[in-house]
Amino acid sequence: MKFFRGRRVLTASVLCVCALGQALAGTIDPRPTPADWAALAKLPDWSGTWVPNITDQSRRIKADPTPWNAAAARQIKAMEAEEDAGRPRGLFVNCLPEGMPSWMLISHNALEILFSPGRVTLLGESDGNRLRRIYTDGRGHAADPDPSFHGDSIGHWEGTTLVVDTVGVLPQSFIAVSESVGVPNNGDLHVIEHLYLAGPDTLHDDLEIIAPHVLSRPWKTTRIYYRQRAKKYEILEGVCLQGSFTDGKDKDGNAIFVPVPQIDGNPKPQ
Amino acid sequence: MAAALFLAGGLSWAVPCRAHHSFAMFDETKVMTVVGTVKDFQWVNPHVVLWVYTTPKDGGAPELWTIELTSPGNLTRVGWSRHTVAPGDKVSVEIAPLRNGSHGGGFRKLTITDTGKVLTSEFRDQERPGLQ
């Protein structure tokens, strides 16, 4: 497997995670050793809250265009025309996760990155289900992963760069360039990312997006995040569907959520 | 149109960031000022919503306007909290009105009448690291 060249490659028949030591037969997630915890201190410091460069996201729509295939390009053109006419078709108004790769491409919200032995975890904001588990324990992809919004992600460190390989993404998950322009990946999506510090407090995610059903060729693009450490930047809980409800009381005086009439993901004006 | 609403066209503002849907349903080329009393301030994801009652000049029934902002997280970072406004507060709110003419819009600027405090939600100014 090219991705794990020079590394220990584990197969389904070798379930121990030897890189972490103390492996137990049948255990994929053994107790980390003191050395495993100490090794985290040698990784680059990605602590804090990372906020996206939204201006750059928008700039790249034209400066770094997505190589849609002909069929997708026709749909994109129609969506852009609708948005220009003030009739946007929101892609995410149902509150399902933006998923991969759209979360990384178009999010307007902050994220945080946690390191633990054998794993990197990305936690987002504005959507309670927005998280990515990236396994760095040397395992390969699951043989037949259940399709999911964020896919099956494995990673490894090349120096101070985290390389992430993602497959197993739901075909419905969008490749979006804005909140109203994008198409589902339609299956067989493969995303390769290189995440690294481009400056002391600037994180780059270089993405290569391979989507054979909607792209004419792999799309290489970059997204930029800035580190903040002030209290006001800490991630807040975000549950997308909460906006569809308001506070109320039931007949027994219990605090409950009461639905707010919605139109296309927005409160219905009077 | 309620007398408490003032419409100006052709103004160019930075586009507020919203995290859930496109902002294109709001006419960003127009600025309307909604003057009235807060009915509710819904501090939730994906969009904070400010509900304001206005009173038409001709004495008709109060109109309820629905004003959408960005997320609680993004607003916190530009100085808001869930206590920034409360039901009953007198406010003046600049919005980009809905293109379809319904009583709603995208948030631009809030002035709290009693205190004169002014708040915006422009967090693209923060696209650099290490801010306080």
pLDDT at A72 over 50: yes
For residue B67, pLDDT beyond 80? yes
Residue A11 has pLDDT above 80, yes or no: no
Residue A44 has pLDDT above 70, yes or no: yes
CA angle in degrees (0–180, nearest 5) for B42-A243-B19: 100
What local confidence, expressed as pLDDT, does residue A111 receive? Answer: 94
Structural domain spans, chain B: 5-126
Q: CB distance A127–B45 less than 8 Å?
A: yes
Mean of pLDDT values over A236-255: 92
pLDDT (mean) for A179-185: 94
Q: For A186-228, write each residue's pLDDT tens digit.
A: 999 999 999 999 999 999 999 999 999 999 999 999 999 999 9
Residue burial A176-196, b: 16+ Cβ < 10 Å; e: rest: bbbbbbbbbbbeebbbbbebb
ipTM above 0.85, yes or no: no
Question: Hey, are the CB atoms on A126 and B77 less than 8 Å from each other?
Answer: no
CB B71 within 8 A of CB A125: yes
Give the per-residue pLDDT at A207.
98
Interface touch A227/B129, C-beta < 8 Å: yes
Q: What is the pLDDT of residues A73-113, one digit of tens each?
A: 999 999 999 888 888 888 988 889 999 999 999 998 899 99
CA atoms within 13 A on the CB side of A131: 14
In CATH, which of 1.20.950, 2.40.50, 2.60.40, 3.40.1570 is domain B5-126? 2.40.50
Specify the pLDDT at position A106.
94
Question: Is the model more confident about B101 or about A270?
Answer: B101
A82: helix, strand or coil: helix
Share of chain B above pLDDT 70, in %: 83
User: Looking at CA atoms only, how far is residue A148 from chain B in angstroms?
Assistant: 20
Chain A window 23-42: which residues touch B at a Cβ cutoff of 8 Å?
Answer: none
Considering only CB atoms, A243 lies closest to which of B25, B45, B103, namely: B45
Range with lowest mean pLDDT among A1-15, A24-38, A45-59, A185-199: A1-15
Q: How would you label A216-233 residue by residue, b for 16+ Cβ within 10 Å and e otherwise?
A: eeebebebbbbbbeeebb
Q: Cα–Cα–Cα angle for A78, A83, A89, nearest 5°?
A: 80
Rounded CA-CA distance A134/A152 in Å is: 8
Mean pLDDT of chain B: 84
Question: How many A/B residue pairs have CB atoms within 8 Å?
Answer: 144
pLDDT score for A69: 98
Return the residue in B38, B51, B81, B127 with the most chain A beta carbons within 10 A, the one to mutate for interface testing: B127
Q: What phi, psi does A33 have (nearest 5°)?
A: -85, 165
- Split at pLDDT 50, 70, 90, the class of A27 is confident
Distance from CA of B115 to the nearest CA of A (A): 24
Instruction: Give me the half-sphere count of Cα atoms (radius 13 Å) on the Cβ side of residue A214.
Output: 24
- Asked if A236 is an interface residue toward chain B (Cβ–Cβ < 8 A), one would say yes
φ, ψ for residue A67, nearest 5 deg: -80, 70
Which helix (H) or strand (E) element contains residue A167?
strand A161-167
3-state helix, strand, coil in chain A (%, to 5): 20, 35, 45
Q: Is A181 helix (H, G, I), strand (E, B) or coil?
A: strand
A54 interaction partners in chain B (CB closer than 8 Å) = 17, 124, 127
Contacts of A149 (CB under 8 A, 6+ apart): A96, A97, A98, A99, A100, A129, A169, A170, A173
Chain B residues within 8 A of A235 when measuring between CB atoms = 73
Give the mean model confidence (pLDDT) for residues A153-180: 97
pLDDT (average), residues B43-53: 93
Q: What is the mean pLDDT of chain A?
A: 88
Domains of chain A: 49-233 (2.40.128.20), 245-270 (no CATH)
Assign 3-state DSSP to chain B and report helix, strand, coil percentages, each to 5. 5, 40, 55
Check whether B5 has a pLDDT greater than 80.
Answer: no
**pLDDT score at A17:** 38
Q: What is the predicted pLDDT for the residue at B34?
A: 95
Give the gap in angstroms from C-alpha B95 to the nearest C-alpha of chain A: 14
Distance of alpha carbon A262 from alpha carbon A107, whole angstroms: 23
Give the span between the Cα atoms of B71 and A87, in whole angstroms.
Answer: 22
Asked if the C-beta of A129 comes within 8 angstroms of chain B's C-beta atoms, the answer is no
The distance of B52 to chain A (nearest Cα, Å) reads 11
Between A199 and B22, the higher pLDDT residue: A199
Comparison of pLDDT for A83 and B42, the residue scoring more:
B42
Distance CA B44, CA B39 (A): 16
A246 touches chain B (CB under 8 A): yes
